[in-house]
Structure 1
């Protein structure tokens, strides 16, 4: 028996007189394996009359070309980026840079304003005139003043709720009534609004304050109030409207409150020396806790400057990467050189 995977072939030689059978010559050679599917396709394309298993080597066929002879090639599409999207992306770093520049200007303005207020605080207090022009208050903002008169507790207004050290409470607004004799011997009266300070929510009723704090909580004699002359507060869009007829004040609207009690639209914030023991003493007895004589304006513009400029740098780098990189979905595609 012959070895496996070998074939037996008989070689015929042609002579001058015709064909004759030569002595048998036996060759042993290894068979070439061919994919059955490829072999079937070649057999279907073979012309009529050709022998079925004429050749087992695909390279012997003249018109056969492999995919290795004509490989596919990568081509770059000529489509560009969407200009509308690039314009929108370019506006982000430009807007951030503009906002950072605006915050630089705001920082300079806030620094000068705080320096001007600090200069007014170190000056000695001024006596508050009986009648004050409301338009001139802005030139004396954070100026220390004092006034003598009688507190009208019957016209007291509570603004709140307000938080102090984590506790709910109210700001006590009491008109200060003053009297003065003019040159003709006539008595003139006027009122200004005095923010006496903060009280706890449990002392909303004046009786509770009078019971615990006595005359210190609700003085009925002439008192001298020393504090800061301040400009009217500005209301934001999230603060609800006041309801004077119900005694509900959510925001210290100076003009509205002055009209309600018949006072001048002048706002004075009573001050006290910062003392922890005095603060606890007043809080426990319902005595209003005044504010410290200092400038309490927020100045976060330097943080905003770093934030906006950092965002401008980051978005500029991202925009450069987007412009530099071709469109991801159509940048390169495989294009075959022949349809198989």
Structure 2
């Protein structure tokens, strides 16, 4: 018995740690699902007017409706879509209620020409967003080639002379067939806690099996050893 006490304690302690990590991931899964449900509810709520001073945190995903006209200029942000390949998100200025904001019109495939923005007054519906797509490795925009590599709201606003407010369209108001709105949803928010929990519980099971085998070998040594 003395020979198996230390391996037994070591095995049970290791399994307990692994199980606790799996249990923590299960709790994180419940938390993340609640967060995603709250975001979905916010995204799909009835649209309101854009606040006078939108807050990038409190008003993220806020559904809004605006009426106005598209302005001059636009930005191409390098992007891609599954099954479609490379292309661009088209960001355009939009005048509404005496202010200029940014509109994410949607996705255009790389080989297609960018459709002109609808003329005249239009009503748009979408969600406010301040995407976190830049880090220290994000290249600066290639203005000569007219390519941006991320939706950097303050930088895009400065370039087009608008307020730092981005509205992502939920549908195309007068948009042509060759531009596809990419409305905000939760599909891009990672939720891998179930896989993590399964990994930790699997490791705990393997740890216990290996501990049991090690103890069995101690109690049943090979002949001649």
On whether the aligned pair clears a TM of 0.5, the verdict is yes
SS at match of 2:57: helix
- Which of 176, 182, 190 aligns to 2:94? It is 176
Does residue 41 of structure 2 align to residue 119 of structure 1? yes
Does residue 67 of structure 2 align to residue 148 of structure 1? yes
Shift of 1:144: 1.4
Tell me how many residue pairs correspond in the alignment. 219
Shift of 1:290: 0.8
- CA displacement, residues 71-121 of structure 1 (integer Å, 9 cap, x when unaligned): xxxxxxxxx89x9xx97x888656643442332232122221122223324
SS at match of 1:138: coil
Does residue 158 of structure 2 align to residue 259 of structure 1? yes
Q: Which residue of structure 1 aligns with residue 181 of structure 2?
A: 290
Shift of 1:249: 1.6
Q: Residues 8-23 of structure 1 correspond to what in structure 2 (within 5 A)?
A: none
- CA displacement, residues 280-312 of structure 1 (integer Å, 9 cap, x when unaligned): x713xxxx2113565434434223322321222
Q: 1:145 to 1:251 in 2, by over 3 A?
A: same
- CA displacement, residues 47-82 of structure 1 (integer Å, 9 cap, x when unaligned): xxxxxxxxxxxxxxxxxxxxxxxxxxxxxxxxx89x
Q: TM-score, normalised by structure 2?
A: 0.75
Q: CA RMSD in A?
A: 3.7
Report if aligned partners of 1:244, 1:260 keep a CA contact under 8 Å in 2.
no
Report if aligned partners of 2:92, 2:102 keep a CA contact under 8 Å in 1.
yes
Q: TM-score, normalised by structure 1?
A: 0.53
- 5+ unaligned residues in a row in structure 2: which ranges? none
Q: 1:125 to 1:256 in 2, by over 3 A?
A: same
- 5+ unaligned residues in a row in structure 1: which ranges? 1-79, 181-189, 211-216, 335-340
Q: 1:243 to 1:118 in 2, by over 3 A?
A: closer
Q: Residues 307-322 of structure 1 correspond to what in structure 2 (within 5 A)?
A: 307-322=199-214
Report if aligned partners of 2:168, 2:183 keep a CA contact under 8 Å in 1.
no
Mapped partners of 2:44, 2:22: distance in 1 = 33
Mapped partners of 1:119, 1:306: distance in 2 = 29
Q: 1:126 to 1:320 in 2, by over 3 A?
A: same
Does residue 197 of structure 2 align to residue 299 of structure 1? no
Does residue 217 of structure 2 align to residue 325 of structure 1? yes
Report if aligned partners of 1:242, 1:248 keep a CA contact under 8 Å in 2.
no
Shift of 1:143: 2.5
- Which of 73, 76, 79 aligns to 1:161? It is 79
Q: Which residue of structure 1 aligns with residue 140 of structure 2?
A: 242
